[in-house]
Amino acid sequence: MKWSLIFELSKALMLARFKQTLIAAVGVTFSITMFVALLGFMNGLNTMLDGLILNRTPHIRFYNEIKPNPDQPISLSGEFSTSLNVVRSIKPSTSRLAIHNSESIMQTLTKDPRVLGLSRKISAQVFFNVGTIDLTGVVNGIDVEKEAQLFSFEDYVTTGKYPDLNQSNSIILGKGLADRMLAGIGDVIQLTTAQGNRVQLKVVGYYQSGLGDYDNSNSFASISTVQKMLGEPPSYVTDIQVKLKELDLAPAMAIESRQIFGIDADDIQTVNAQFETGTNIRNLISYVVGITLLVVSGFGIYNILNMMIYEKLDTIAILKAIGFSGSDVNRIFITIALSIGLVGGSFGLLLGFLTCLGIDSAPFETAALPTIKTFPVDYNPKYYIIGGVFSLITTYMAGFFPARKASSVDPVEIIRGK
Amino acid sequence: MTELKKPVLEAKNIEKFFYNPTETQVLKKVSFSVKRGEFVSVMGKSGCGKSTLLYILSTMDTSYSGELFMDEQMITGKPSDYLSHLRNEKIGFVFQFHYLINEFSVLENVMIPGLKLGKYSREEMEHRAIEKLKIFDMQDHALKKANQLSGGQKQRVAIARALINDPLIIMGDEPTGNLDKKNSDIVYNIFKSLAKDFNQTMLIVTHDPEFAEGTDRTIEMEDGRVIRQ
């Protein structure tokens, strides 16, 4: 079949109803623009909000949990092995918070090909002494460089420089905590550990995560400072934080490691299940809205093609009389529909991109999100591909029934009617 | 001479019913044949079934019983794609109404069936189309849009379009029916000269006795039957 002739006839029919064709194309343009802008903006926000938590959350966290021993002595006794034993008032067994044999665990993990990197951490409960008042809080001892490298620590240090933490006896305070203590940069604060040791530390920066509660109680010091503060040896570590190359491997690897190392391991998916649910639902909503827009514009195309067919019955009849088959006529109308989709869709993708650029440069400043200056937008090409493909699919569907109707026009009926 | 005697179109016992609103038989055992080079007219009163017969012969209407041969090949019961191709290649149509496509120029209107057939390149096709238009002295209007022509001119362009693929047979359904006397005469003379100068086989349905008189042979119909041929 001569496609050039089909294109020529389609073009002539479209130009004959140029205004309507244009309106149909504008409908597609509008919906694709909205689709791309909506998804880009929505996913930009999602990524940012999830990133608030997920960027600084380890994919797997190893720690020792204080809990009652599940193997009570009675269950070891052969005499009572078949009976139902009730033990009252069980207390957690005395065990250390520190991870046993942490050095070899870390060595094993570092060699694992799935692991991107790991960093040690100590969480120490302390009282910040402000005059006669004691504020409870947590000092996190961290590997400063690794924390910055793996968990974007520097993004959250809003005042001061994070490498200053490498000096011994320095601390970065949570913003809320610093405000309550009226501690400025360079001030020396005093704190008491749970064991009763008094320590004086110099404030070198403020930390702001965007989560108020967290910033009210957490502060950061280097791991050696915290070990010294607690009077523990350099091998003392309470947490090992692991970042994987593939986030999705975390649950399986957590289960595996729990058995191998005999310590507790939490994966990011289990701990932050609510984030994933939220993200998925927001994604779903934006897809539904975008596709609804496309379907509505599809109805526009359907209407216009139907109108065109009624107006051009004579043309269709004569084309069939001079030897165009039903499928040729079908192709002509499908070509019209797809051209509307292609032209409208391309402009839509372009305008969608421009809209994204616009949103991206709109100022968005909030105290809770120190690192964000403008609205976040995701430019993932995926949305453009989906948008483009959907514009063609919907216009094809919109053209399908009118084209079938046109192809089944009986020329005899039209010509005899004159 | 034997070449001329070959039947181009042959109808055997064509019967056709309309079922809406009640069953009526519009064609009753119609049989005849048209030989190569013949200029045949079909006459009859309005409603005698002559147009219905023409649409069956033209392969556009396929709901009939009986047998139809074109170029000595049976075409009854062939698939619609085959029939479309057959119409494109072997039949030229002229209707009462011109059915030109207004969005295209005169030249393009004439070329469309040729482009569809795809036997010649576009340039060659253009040349051929101009040649056909010259027959009717329409070459000066080639680049005008179809809706800029008068009724008689449109009908001449429609005839040029029917000729573009050098069809085996030209079928006309009252081609002069919509025209005034003057234009009607022009079109009539065109058909005459096509028959004489180009030896074109033609089958024209008309109710104009004057028109029928000038043809080689007249098939007269009444009430769905051929009463004289």
DSSP string of B163-184? HTT--SEEEEESTTTTS-HHHH
Q: State whether A261 and A365 are in the same domain.
A: no
**Average pLDDT for residues B26-46, to the nearest whole number?**
86
Whether the Cβ atoms of residue A206 and residue A80 lie closer than 8 Å to each other: no
- A5-36 burial code (b ≥16 CB/10 A, e <16): bbebbbebbbebbeebbbebbbbbbbbbbbbb
The answer as to whether A115 is a domain residue is: yes
Q: State whether A295 and A402 are in the same domain.
A: yes
Q: State whether A298 and A333 are in the same domain.
A: yes
Burial (Cβ within 10 Å: 0-12, 13-18, ≥19) of residue A79:
exposed
For B83, which residue in chain A has the nearest alpha carbon? Answer: A323
**Average pLDDT for residues B148-176, to the nearest whole number?**
86
Whether the Cβ atoms of residue A325 and residue B78 lie closer than 8 Å to each other: no
Beta-carbon contacts of residue A77 (< 8 Å; ≥ 6 apart): none
Whether the Cβ atoms of residue A391 and residue A32 lie closer than 8 Å to each other: yes
pLDDT value of residue A156: 83
State whether B103 and A12 contact (CB < 8 Å): yes
The answer as to whether A83 is a domain residue is: no
Q: State whether A48 and A141 are in the same domain.
A: no
The answer as to whether A303 is a domain residue is: yes
SS3 readout for A96-116? CCCCCCHHHHHHHHHHCCCEE
Distance CA B106, CA B164 (A): 13
State whether B96 and A314 contact (CB < 8 Å): no
List chain A residues with pLDDT less than 70: 1, 94-95, 367-371, 417-418
Q: Is the pTM of this model over 0.95?
A: no
Whether the Cβ atoms of residue A87 and residue A110 lie closer than 8 Å to each other: no
Residue A358 has a CB neighbour count (10 Å cut-off) of 12
Confidence of residue B13 (pLDDT cuts 50, 70, 90): confident
Distance from CA of A4 to the nearest CA of B (A): 9
Distance from CA of B81 to the nearest CA of A (A): 6
Distance from CA of A12 to the nearest CA of B (A): 6
The answer as to whether A84 is a domain residue is: no
Q: Residues of A with CB below 8 A from B88's CB?
A: 322-324
Q: Residues of B with CB below 8 A from A321's CB?
A: 58, 60, 87, 93, 95, 99
Distance CA B51, CA A61 (A): 88
Q: Residues of A with CB below 8 A from B61's CB?
A: 412
| DSSP symbol at A79 | G
State whether B61 and A412 contact (CB < 8 Å): yes
| B87 shares contact with chain A (CB less than 8 Å) | yes
Looking at the 3D structure of chain A, how many domains does it have? 2
Q: State whether A326 and A404 are in the same domain.
A: yes
Residue A267 has a CB neighbour count (10 Å cut-off) of 23
Query: ∠A328-B113-A405 over CA atoms, to 5°?
Result: 30
Partner residue opposite A322 with nearest CB, options B104, B112, B173: B112
Q: Residues of A with CB below 8 A from B84's CB?
A: 320, 323-326, 328
State whether B104 and A12 contact (CB < 8 Å): yes
Whether the Cβ atoms of residue B101 and residue A8 lie closer than 8 Å to each other: no
Distance CA A139, CA A130 (A): 16
Q: Residues of A with CB below 8 A from B103's CB?
A: 12-13, 15-16
The residues on A that touch B, with CB distances below 8 Å, are: 2, 4-5, 9, 12-13, 15-16, 314-315, 317-328, 411-412, 415-416, 418
Q: Which amino acid is at A199?
A: V
Whether the Cβ atoms of residue A148 and residue A154 lie closer than 8 Å to each other: yes
Interface A-B: count of C-beta contacts within 8 A: 72
pLDDT value of residue A49: 77
Distance CA A337, CA B103 (A): 19
Sequential DSSP letters for B85-116: HHHHHHEEEE-SS----TTSBHHHHHHHHHHH
Q: Residues of B with CB below 8 A from A12's CB?
A: 101, 103-104
Q: State whether A281 and A176 are in the same domain.
A: no
Distance CA A367, CA A164 (A): 24
Beta-carbon contacts of residue A141 (< 8 Å; ≥ 6 apart): A120, A121, A122, A123, A124, A221, A222, A223, A224, A225, A226, A227
**Window 95-154 of B, Cβ < 8 Å to A:** 95-97, 99, 101-104, 112-113, 115-118
Whether the Cβ atoms of residue A318 and residue B99 lie closer than 8 Å to each other: yes
| DSSP symbol at B216 | S
* Run of H or E including A124: strand A115-130
Partner residue opposite B55 with nearest CB, options A318, A325, A412: A412
Structure token pair of residue B176: 């002069």
CATH of the domain at B42: 3.40.50.300
Last residue of a domain, one of A270, A300, A320: A270
Looking at the 3D structure of chain B, how many domains does it have? 1
Q: Residues of A with CB below 8 A from B116's CB?
A: 2, 5, 322-324, 328
Distance from CA of A325 to the nearest CA of B (A): 5
pLDDT tens track for A182-230: 888 999 999 999 888 899 999 999 988 877 888 899 999 999 999 998 8
Last residue of a domain, one of A216, A248, A270: A270
pLDDT value of residue A370: 65
* Run of H or E including A222: strand A218-222
Burial (Cβ within 10 Å: 0-12, 13-18, ≥19) of residue A295:
middle
Distance from CA of A412 to the nearest CA of B (A): 7
Confidence of residue B1 (pLDDT cuts 50, 70, 90): very low
Residue B29 has a CB neighbour count (10 Å cut-off) of 14
Q: State whether A203 and A65 are in the same domain.
A: yes
State whether B116 and A315 contact (CB < 8 Å): no
pLDDT value of residue A352: 92
pLDDT tens track for A330-359: 998 899 889 988 999 999 999 999 999 998
| DSSP symbol at A183 | P
Q: State whether A288 and A262 are in the same domain.
A: no
Which stretches of chain B are assigned E, i.e. beta strand?
7-18, 24-35, 39-44, 65-70, 73-74, 91-94, 169-173, 202-205, 217-222, 225-228
Q: Residues of A with CB below 8 A from B60's CB?
A: 320-321, 411-412
Q: State whether A227 and A326 are in the same domain.
A: no
The answer as to whether A137 is a domain residue is: yes
The CA-atom distances, in angstroms, between A193 and each of A64, A127, A201, A223 are 20, 6, 12, 15
State whether A323 and B87 contact (CB < 8 Å): yes
Beta-carbon contacts of residue A58 (< 8 Å; ≥ 6 apart): A119, A150, A151, A241, A242, A243, A268
The answer as to whether A235 is a domain residue is: yes
The upper half-sphere exposure of residue A313, i.e. CA atoms within 13 Å in the direction of its Cβ, equals: 16
The answer as to whether A147 is a domain residue is: yes
The whole domain housing B214 covers 3-228
pLDDT value of residue A368: 63
Partner residue opposite B116 with nearest CB, options A323, A411, A418: A323
Please state the ipTM of this predicted complex: 0.85
Distance from CA of A331 to the nearest CA of B (A): 14
Q: State whether A281 and A266 are in the same domain.
A: no
Q: Which of A410, A297, A412 is nearest to A343 (CA)?
A: A297
State whether B116 and A2 contact (CB < 8 Å): yes
The whole domain housing A231 covers 60-78+89-270
Q: State whether A230 and A354 are in the same domain.
A: no
Distance CA B210, CA B191 (A): 13
